[in-house]
């Protein structure tokens, strides 16, 4: 076997953690003696190390006792990111970290696995939070191999033994469809994704669309998901014949984001429809964003701040040596608030 192949197949601390049934941070603490670990857990970890012939990097061992008091947050920025979606997550993570005397440094998702390796290799942070996690995310394998705690915000197909936090997109979709059914609507149309995003790319997209369709069927509503062929407002405008095909037939329009809600309000007005009278517009967005629209939009919140708080809490549990089994934590959406854009049909 070549030296290159040997390096590629060498066991990692993630392998040790999986075999021992503990978290990666626990493996790190056993090796460094940085925190008190139970004798039974220490024995399991050492047995796994011996079985796998795991040899941690000498430089990493020497630096393991240092702490930077920095969390690296990998987040999407740029054209595809709506600040109304992203900023509440970032702000809350920064606030929660500072409460624990930690700072947060941002790295962008376009750096991919290399960004994680760079930060970890330079010993610039103590832990990572990865946002915008895709169903099949190339960063996860690298993150799982790091000797640092990592928490995901999003639901991948394979968490690779990492903690993940997400909002319950299914519950949010069901609440919005129920609002339309309870107020006498007969048709529900969800505005699909624009800008090259497909529902299967992210769990919460697929889950939201599927749940809207299934709940509509259960409540007796005709349903359609309209995916614009072009990005942005131009795509929504061009999709108007499909979105408004059932105007005048107790139509309810569903928006998954604040941007989508804004576009649907603009579209209905452009076509002479009154939101809350001729047609309904309901969506997922924060209560503050919903109340700021003209007219205020009926909404459920994705609870961005609760999701972010949970992610930070989990991260510091791992930093503190928690040995609990990593899992997926779904945060329930906020209570539905009926506002001016719900039309009540008798």
Tens digit of each residue's pLDDT, the chain (346 residues): 333 433 445 677 778 888 888 877 777 777 665 566 787 887 888 888 878 777 665 444 444 456 789 999 998 775 555 667 788 999 999 999 999 999 999 988 778 888 888 888 788 899 999 999 999 999 999 999 888 999 999 999 999 999 999 999 999 999 999 999 999 999 999 999 865 666 678 898 899 999 999 999 999 999 999 999 888 899 999 999 999 999 999 999 999 999 999 999 999 999 999 999 999 999 999 999 999 999 999 999 999 999 999 999 999 999 988 888 999 999 999 999 999 999 999 7
Q: Identify the pLDDT of residue 5.
A: 39
Cross-strand pairs, 298: 282
Strand pairing of 298-300 and 328-331?
Answer: unpaired
CA angle 37, 42, 47 (to 5 degrees): 165
Q: Identify the pLDDT of residue 55.
A: 64
The overall pTM is greater than 0.75: yes
Q: Tell me which CATH code domain 3-63 carries.
A: 1.10.260.40
281, 298 contact by CB (below 8 A): yes
70-167+304-331: which CATH topology? Rossmann fold (3.40.50)
For residue 327, the number of C-alpha atoms closer than 13 Å in the C-beta half-sphere is 8
Which has the closest alpha carbon to 312: 23, 140, 100?
100
Q: Identify the pLDDT of residue 197.
A: 64
- Virtual torsion, Cα 90, 107, 259, 201, nearest 10 deg: -120
What is the Cα–Cα distance from 268 to 248, expressed in whole angstroms?
Answer: 12
Tokens 């205020």 found at = 296
Q: Identify the pLDDT of residue 199.
A: 61
Q: Identify the pLDDT of residue 112.
A: 84
Which has the closest alpha carbon to 212: 165, 259, 248, 260?
260
Q: Identify the pLDDT of residue 61.
A: 43
Tokens 């990865």 found at = 130
Domain residue extents for the chain: 3-63, 70-167+304-331, 169-300
Instruction: For 110-171, give the DSSP string.
Output: GGHHHHHHHHHHTT--SEEEE-S--TT-THHHHHHHSSS-EEEES--S--TT-EEEEE-HHH
94, 104 contact by CB (below 8 A): yes
Tokens for 88?
A: 């509440």
**Domains 3-63 and 169-300 alike in fold:** no
169-300: which CATH topology? Rossmann fold (3.40.50)
């Amino acid at each position: 076997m070549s030296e290159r192949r040997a390096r590629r197949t060498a066991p990692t601390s993630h392998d040790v953690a999986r075999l021992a049934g503990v978290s990666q941070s626990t493996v790190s603490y056993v090796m460094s003696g940085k925190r008190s670990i139970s004798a039974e857990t220490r024995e399991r970890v050492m047995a796994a190390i011996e079985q796998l012939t795991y040899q941690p990097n000498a430089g990493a061992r020497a630096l393991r006792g240092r702490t930077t008091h920095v969390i690296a947050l990998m987040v999407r920025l740029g054209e595809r990111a709506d600040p109304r979606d992203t900023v509440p997550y970032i702000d809350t993570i920064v606030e929660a970290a500072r409460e624990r005397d930690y700072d947060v440094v941002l790295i962008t998702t376009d750096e991919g696995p290399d960004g994680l390796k760079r930060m970890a290799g330079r010993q610039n942070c103590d832990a990572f939070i990865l946002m915008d996690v895709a169903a099949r995310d190339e960063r996860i394998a690298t993150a799982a191999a790091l000797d640092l705690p990592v928490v995901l915000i999003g639901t991948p197909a394979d968490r690779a033994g990492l903690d993940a936090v997400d909002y319950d997109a299914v519950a949010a979709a069901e609440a919005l469809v129920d609002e339309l059914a309870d107020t006498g609507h007969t048709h529900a149309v969800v505005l699909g994704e624009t800008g090259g995003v497909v529902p299967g790319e992210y769990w919460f997209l697929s889950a939201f669309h599927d749940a809207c369709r299934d709940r509509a069927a259960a409540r007796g509503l005709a349903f359609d998901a309209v995916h614009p062929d072009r990005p942005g407002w131009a795509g929504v405008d061009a999709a108007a014949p499909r979105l408004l095909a059932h105007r005048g037939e107790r139509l309810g329009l569903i928006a998954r984001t604040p941007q989508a809600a804004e576009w649907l309000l603009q579209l209905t007005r452009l076509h002479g429809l009154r939101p809350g009278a001729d047609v309904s517009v309901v969506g997922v967005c924060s209560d503050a964003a919903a109340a700021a629209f003209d007219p205020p939009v009926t909404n459920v919140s994705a609870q961005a701040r609760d999701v972010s708080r949970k992610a930070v809490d989990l991260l510091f549990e791992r930093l503190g040596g928690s040995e609990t089994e990593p899992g997926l934590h779904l945060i329930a959406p906020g209570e539905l608030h009926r506002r001016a854009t719900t039309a009540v049909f008798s």
